[in-house]
Amino acid sequence: MYAKKIAVVEELVRRQEAWRGQCLNLIASENVLSRRARAAGGSDFAHRYAEGHPGERYYRGTGYIDEIETQLTAHLKILFGCTHCEVRPVSGTNANEAVFSRFVAPGDVVLVNSTPGGGHISHHRLGSLGKFTRNIVDFPLTPDGYHIDVERTAFLIEAVRPKLIVLGKSLFLFPEPVAELAEVCRRTRTRIVYDAAHVLGLIAGKRFQNPLAEGAWVVTASTHKTFFGSQRGVILSNMDEEEWRRIDRGAFPGSSSNHHLDTLAQLAVSTFEMMDFAEAYAEQTIRNARSLAAALDRLGFDVQGRDFGYTESHQVAVNVKAFGGGETVSRRLEANDIILNMNMLPHEPLRNHDRPEGIRLGVQEMTRFGMREPEMEEIARLIHACIVERQDVKEEVNRFRQRFTAVGYSYDDRVEAPSPAEARSAAARG
């Protein structure tokens, strides 16, 4: 009876694949999996459960996923130089929930980045943090709006002695003042949580700040933005064992049960790609972001962060109020197969959330498809032609995009034989 409905879904999936393959995707919170990472999804693991830790599961039949999870955790610890790593959260927000649920109690004060200042919804009253406390205070910002005012924040921390401060943003152009606030946080016994969802791949590539080395108590992140893995979450820390056990229980059973085993296998593949390619990828991503920002500035756009070199991440922020605002501009670009999102800017009132003045652009996905600085200048030209000159550039965008179809910074075109030890392990398992 519903076979035709299934066919409709299948056709929509096919059309999505075809359409997005001809678009310029500048959504800052997305990326693409390599062919080999994608192939690790949709396997028998998609049907299975694995509650608990490898070797200590509540279900039987988990031997193979135990091996994958153990390898993944070990290599993430190497990649990020940490003693603890939790891979069971199924999203960055889920990772935040695991931390907040164990260390924030009703009435606790927590300092965060405001929504206009770039803070993520999970840090706010309507998100995950708001489930545990309502005493959420915004960081004071410098006049440019893209940096935390360290002096005023240190005074505020001394005055209110928050339980946590949550650094990291959704609109994330520049590093956060982790080292600058670490000493005052030690004095007040305030823990620093650093949400690295957007910049995890840049941290892995050693091209952004290292929050754990600078004094962060815990790092949470999603794994599908600059870290080009499957859509999951991680928690990283060097905290003591007793505190880590609380995080462990926050992840399971606190905020997850089964943890989507087929995407865990994909994350393992992507992590091994990161081990080899993160530095080159992060370097080119940041170079591309700066190139795009500078090109847009030359073409007359109000690019944010100009006095600070525009950006030190994968993101670019532009005030497009002169062209109708973020919603209008993002919709017109979408009609021309340039995909990005409208975004609030730090000077805006919260009531502007659904019609903000800004747009946010991310270059990480197009970087993975092989684009470099000259292509960023071409993207800026296409955006200018579409928005300022009011041209229909869709066909030109599609032709341009077809030059970049292979996913780079991967082993898609190279299959290495397993080591003798790996072969013996596989053979022993049948």
User: Domain for residue 430, yes or no?
Assistant: no
The domain that holds 306 is classified in CATH as 3.90.1150.10
258 domain residue, yes or no: yes
Whether 142 and 243 map to the same domain: the answer is: yes
Residues 43 and 131 in one domain: yes
Pick 122 or 357 by higher pLDDT.
357
Residue 189, pLDDT above cutoff 80: yes
Whether residues 225 and 326 fall in one domain = no
Are residues 262 and 160 located together in one domain of the fold? yes
The predicted model gives 306-320 an average pLDDT of: 98
Tens-digit pLDDT profile for residues 114-127:
998 989 988 888 88
Instruction: Report whether 285 contacts 369 (CB < 8 A).
Output: no
244 shares its domain with 208? yes
Q: Mean pLDDT of all residues in the chain?
A: 94
The tally of domains found in the chain comes to: 2
Task: Report the alpha-carbon distance of residue 127 to residue 313 in Å, rounded.
Answer: 25
Task: Choose the final residue of a domain: 255, 271, 287.
Answer: 271
Residue with the larger pLDDT of the pair 313 and 131 = 313
Confidence of residue 288 (pLDDT cuts 50, 70, 90): very high
pLDDT higher than 90, residue 103: yes
Is 18 a domain residue?
Answer: no
- Give the residue from 252, 271, 290 where a domain finishes: 271
Q: Are residues 30 and 42 in the same domain?
A: no
Q: Please tell me the predicted confidence (pLDDT) of residue 420.
A: 56
The domain boundary residue, chosen from 254, 271, 288: 271
Mean pLDDT of 43-49: 94
- pTM across the whole model: 0.94
Give the CA-trace dihedral at 98, 241, 65, 260, to 10 degrees: 0
H-type alpha helices, 128-226: 150-160, 178-188, 200-204, 211-214
Domain ranges, residue 306 = 25-34+278-401
What is the per-residue pLDDT for 425? 60
Tell whether 55 is covered by a domain: yes
Q: Which residues, other chains included, contact 212 with Cβ-Cβ below 8 Å and sequence gap of 6+?
A: 80, 81, 82, 194, 219, 236, 237, 238
Q: Do 292 and 247 fall into the same domain?
A: no
Give the closest residue to 167 by CA, choosing from 116, 204, 207, 114.
Answer: 114
- At 284, the pLDDT band (50, 70, 90 cuts) reads very high
When pLDDT is averaged across residues 8-20 and rounded to a whole number, the result is: 96
Phi, psi of 41 (to 5 degrees): -95, 160
At a CB cut-off of 8 Å and minimum separation 6, what does 185 contact? 157, 165, 191, 192, 215
- Give residue-wise pLDDT tens across range 73-87: 999 999 999 999 999
Per-residue pLDDT band at 426 (split at 50, 70, 90) = low
Examine the domain organization and report whether 192 and 323 are in the same domain. no
Q: What does DSSP say about strands 302-303 and 233-237: parallel, antiparallel, or unpaired? A: unpaired
What is the pLDDT, as a whole number, of residue 104? 94
